[in-house]
Amino acid sequence: EIVLTQSPGTLSLSPGERATLSCRASQSVSSSYLAWYQQKPGQAPRLLIYAASTRATGIPDRFSGSWSGTDFTLTISRLEPEDFAVYYCQQYGGSPPGHTFGQGTKLEIK
């Protein structure tokens, strides 16, 4: 099973700052099969990025995704008040193939 490790566990920033969230895979993951989600309290997850770097419909361009090898990054260029939430990465792959989520990064207001 591929394990996704997100860091940091909690990130404390102020509106207007840049946020960099990391997701490291325990083995090779196809970039086509890596996604990022945002979840606010009491709400369902919301798809932000799929295929590592493609923004989902309606997602502002301050959200971007990138990767290098087994390290995937979600960047929020300039934080808005509504961006403070928990973020999850998700992948499909491995042998036998399966779906896994990272444990989440909580982005909180400093």
Partner 1 sequence: EVQLVESGGGLVQPGGSLRLSCAASGFTFSNYWMAWVRQAPGKGLEWVANMKHDESERYYVDSVNGRFTISRDNAKNSLYLQMNSLRVEDTAVYYCARVRPWPTPDSWGQGTLVTVSS
If one asks whether residue 92 binds partner 1 (CB under 8 A), the answer comes out as: yes
CA 80 to chain centre: 17
Mapping DSSP to helix (H, G, I), strand (E, B) and coil, where does residue 90 land? strand
If one asks whether residue 101 binds partner 1 (CB under 8 A), the answer comes out as: yes
If one asks whether residue 94 binds partner 1 (CB under 8 A), the answer comes out as: no
Pick from 37, 63, 72, 84 the residue near partner 1 by CB under 8 A.
37
| Contacting partner 1 within 50-89 (CB under 8 A) | 50-51, 56, 88
Stretch that binds partner 1, among 16-24, 37-45, 63-71, 74-82 (CB under 8 A): 37-45
Task: For residue 101, count other CB atoms closer than 10 A to its CB.
Answer: 15
If one asks whether residue 40 binds partner 1 (CB under 8 A), the answer comes out as: no
The DSSP secondary structure of 17-48, one letter per residue, reads: S-EEEEEEESS---GGGEEEEEE-TTS--EEE
